[in-house]
Amino acid sequence: MSLLLIFVSIAVLVLLITYFKINAFLAFLIVSILAGLLLGIPAPQIIGSVQKGMGDMLGSLIIVVVAGAMLGKLAAESGAAQRIAAGMMKLFGASQIHWALLITGFIIGIPLFYNVGFVLVIPLIFSVAQRYNLPVVYIGVPMMAALSVTHGFLPPHPSPTALVAQFHADMGTTLFYGILIGFPTSILAGPVFAKAVRNIKAPMLSTFKSVDLPESQLPGLGVSIFSSLLPVLLLAITTLVTMATIENDVLKTVIAFFSDPAIVMLISLAVATYMLGLRMGMKMKRIMDIYVEAVKDITILLLIMGGAGSLKQILMDSGVSAEIATLLNGLDVHPLILGWTIACVIRVCVGSATVAGLTAAGIVLPLLDQPGVNPNLMVLAVGAGSLMFSHVNDSGFWLFKEYFNLSIKDTIRSWSLMETIVAIAGIIGVMILDAFV
């Protein structure tokens, strides 16, 4: 009976978001309270569970997500992302243009949140298509695939960061695995798949072309790449050092402190503030204004994460998590496949990758108690599933359609299929990696 009530609650969540157009944060709060009442939690305790779940979720990731947003916004405003794009184009040349766009999208996509990265790379895609007389969708798909993969697979993006917290995974290890799986996935969904959409006609819209910063105002290529990838470098280094056998207790304490993702992101932000801001002549007030705008951009994402944490806590406090664990343990399906499938279903129904990932996390959390289930790979499995078949209920679908000036049919042929390839290739990569780790 409890499982039926959970399905009813999830169905209500989907309806509130898709049919009634209720904001996802409010929908999560409504459904959390409804689920608490249906599952028999005493009414006075429900709000306490909601508040605890929200606090636990945001408390563990708000520094990482906010600092990541600030770093990405600074990379965009300072011209670092523009410099990386121009440098990659010069390095690879016209003959390897897809690889240039793919790698540029992957590098830019690590620090930049999806919507910011999308708008940032559109002028580059248009200018490359015009310069080399190539179809704009054919040119755009490799870069969009890379942005999508980093959004769904890699911390410090909101959904994978929240999944790391919920599953008690290691952020550095998840990032490492995510890159191992994500880059080949980007190749399949990008340069390989782009050949299938080469004949899609999409007249470029001058409305969306932005003016690039003058060359003299851009930071150097090395500085741009270093500042953008510093969180990755620090997480990789601290993860490797943590894995080493160290007997000195003081050294262990120091390493544990600096390997914390929040400290990594704050150090990275401090370095970028100087390298991309103050060093380039930007006033501190201007830098802080950029950071304020960055926080505004992600406020709703933070609220959605908090709402998802509330629902997870309701499931735990009601005891239904134990029932779910018992049921799922009896299914003859690999836990990683099951987590991916649940995320896929919610994604197709709800549209938002973040909502799909976080909602699925609360359902599959009991699976992590099974022996041999790697929490880092579960993050990636759910993340891959949360990208499955984006269609008309996803804002990303309309973003791609309008910017590339496509019909709905051609958007499904290009964007929706690209996202589907990312989801399927992602889970294949997860299962291959699971065989070796």
Tell me the pLDDT tens digit for each residue of 115-167: 767 876 777 787 778 777 889 999 899 999 999 999 999 987 888 999 999 99
Pair 384, 423: CB distance under 8 Å: yes
Q: What digits encode the pLDDT tens for the residues 47-61?
A: 999 999 999 888 877
Look at residue 192 and tell me whether its pLDDT is greater than 80. Answer: yes
d(CA 123, CA 130): 10
191 close to 146: Cβ distance less than 8 angstroms? no
pLDDT of residue 140: 92
Q: What span, in angstroms and rounded, lies between the C-alpha atoms of 353 and 162? A: 12
User: CA 158, CA 129: separation in Å to the nearest integer?
Assistant: 31
What's the pLDDT score for residue 147?
93
pLDDT in tens, 175-186: 999 999 999 999
Under 8 Å between Cβ of 80 and 228 = yes
pTM of the predicted protein model: 0.80
Residue at token pair 């009442």: 37
**Residue 168's pLDDT band (boundaries 50, 70, 90)?**
very high
pLDDT per residue over 314-352, tens digit each?
988 888 767 766 666 667 889 999 999 999 988 887 777
Identify the burial level of 238 via C-beta atoms within 10 angstroms of its C-beta, where 0-12 means exposed, 13-18 middle and 19 or more buried.
buried
Residue written as tokens 């300072």? 78
How many residues appear in the chain? 437
Residue 285 has pLDDT above 70, yes or no: yes
Structure tokens at 100: 């240039």
Q: How much is the pLDDT for 329?
A: 63
- Going by C-alpha positions, the residue among 158, 148, 399, 151 that lies closest to residue 299 is 158
Of all residues in the chain, the percent with pLDDT exceeding 90 is 42
Residue 416 scores a pLDDT above 60? yes
- The DSSP output letter for 190 is I
Q: Which of 179, 162, 419, 342 lies closest to 334 in space, CA to CA?
A: 342
From 384, 376, 354, 416, select the one nearest 27 (Cα to Cα): 354
Write out the two tokens for 326: 């018992």
- Better-predicted residue by pLDDT, 61 or 98: 98
Give the contacts of 380 (CB within 8 A, at least 6 positions apart). 153, 160, 174, 177, 178, 181, 426, 429, 430
Q: What is the mean pLDDT of residues 168-191?
A: 95
- Does residue 415 register a pLDDT over 90? yes
Q: What is the sign of the dihedral through the CA atoms of 106, 86, 99 and 404?
A: positive
The 3-state DSSP class for residue 41 equals coil
